Amino acid sequence: MTTYQITGPKRLQTTVKLPASKSISNRALIIHALSGGTILPENLSDCDDTEVIIQALKNMPEVINIKAAGTAMRFMTAFLAATEHGEHVLTGTERMQHRPIKVLVDALRRLGADISYEGEEGFPPLRIKGSTLEGGELDVAGDISSQYISALLMIGPVLKKGLTLRLNGEIISRPYIDLTLWTMREFGADAEWISMDTIKVEPKPYVQRPYFIESDWSAASYWYEMVALSDDPEAEVRLEGLMDGSKQGDSSVRYIFSLLGVKTIFASKTPGKPTTVTLTKSGHRVPRLEYDFVNVPDLTQTFVCTCCAMNIPFHFTGLQTLEIKETNRIKALKTELAKLGYYIEAINGCELKWNGKPSAIDHQPSAIDTYEDHRMALAFAPLGFKMPICINNPQVVTKSYPHYWDDLKKAQFTIQE
């Protein structure tokens, strides 16, 4: 097992070429395939999750192994069910085979899909026989993973009757649904909210077109964390390729981090054009942070780690999807932060609280385990500004940010195996 020891630099001055957005890349690839396009979108993410979709769409093997890519599992399930690409088995890692898929399978079956379970009911692997589906009206719960909803929406234009999707109850992760609709419209789809809880997708084919992927706001969040935690009053990080007015839900990171003393400056605010974003310290921070992460659950680890390291009490809600991510992120955060003296409280599986008072530890902290979850490594590494921190299996970052450790070294972090 590889372990890195990470120590932050005294001064933080660097320019970072962020990876392309994984969320947009994966959506654009599925939509591009449904359009019959021959030229791939430009500036695709080079992360593991995107690579497995590229290879699956390119080679279409009988057994498609998407490894640990949850997005790929959900998106490819719908794609294979709604297109005439024959019969395939869709599988993944051991953890992936314990991540639920029943809600999506049931919804696709109601649209006429031919999907069966190869193992345990409700979980991958799946055997999928592709065909052209009728479509029509469909009701699903609004509090399920937005990836299920996005998977259904993206096949809407190729269904004979299109798709009218009603979301019942509380709708979580709405920005990810909006990102899907926006990307679909970029390829000519007619897809809109027609009420607060209903989306209508017309049976209008996608249009082939060149497409450029912007940089990833989720990846940017770890650099915001570094600026917040650095003791350098003149810390400055320049992030390339981000867009003002981005449809990525995690772009809200700039507003939340403004509460923790990080200022965001755009070099250009031209809509739809990538630019350089400069992060500096503002000198102002809140004494306590309360936030509902229901729309941006992937930012939770970043803010939990940041607030602990800054001794800022917090109460975070809207975390109900964290238990079914790459790992149970609520349990993982509690376990790993306790190694550093931060004892956080979990409430009903959907809230995290901390009183802002770390406990003294009289020993060298144990290495942080990453649980095959890229965001554990990405979010804990910036704590190297406060203490030398050891991280097990650091290569897990390739799932979303393959050159993360190289970027940290460029920023003068000390990283030792």
Answer whether 289's CB lies under 8 Å from 259's CB: yes
Buried b vs exposed e over 269-300: b needs ≥16 C-beta within 10 Å? Answer: eeeeebbebebbbeeebeeebebebbbbbbbb
Give me the helix-helix angle, 174-186 and 146-155, nearest 10°.
Answer: 20
> For 210, what's the count of Cα atoms within 13 Å in the CB-facing half-sphere?
3
Q: Which residue has the tokens 């009490």?
A: 313
Nearest to 37 by CA among 190, 186, 203: 186
Residue with tokens 């919804």, as numbered in its chain: 107
3-state DSSP percent of the chain in helix, strand and coil, to 5: 35, 20, 40
Helix, strand, or coil here: 99?
coil
Specify the DSSP class assigned to residue 326. S
Cβ atoms of 219 and 242 within 8 Å: the answer is no
Catalytic choice (48, 216, 250, 298):
298
- Region of residue 245 (left: phi > 0; alpha: psi -120 to 50; beta: else): left
Strand pairing category for 236-242 and 262-266? unpaired
Task: Single out the residue of 55, 53, 44 nearest to residue 22, CA to CA.
Answer: 44
Residue type, 126: L
Q: How many CA atoms lie less than 13 Å away from 234 in the CB half-sphere? A: 3
Sole residue written with tokens 């939990």: 304
Hey, how many other C-beta atoms are within 10 angstroms of the C-beta on 378? 26
Catalytic status, residue 114:
no
Enumerate the active-site residues. 298
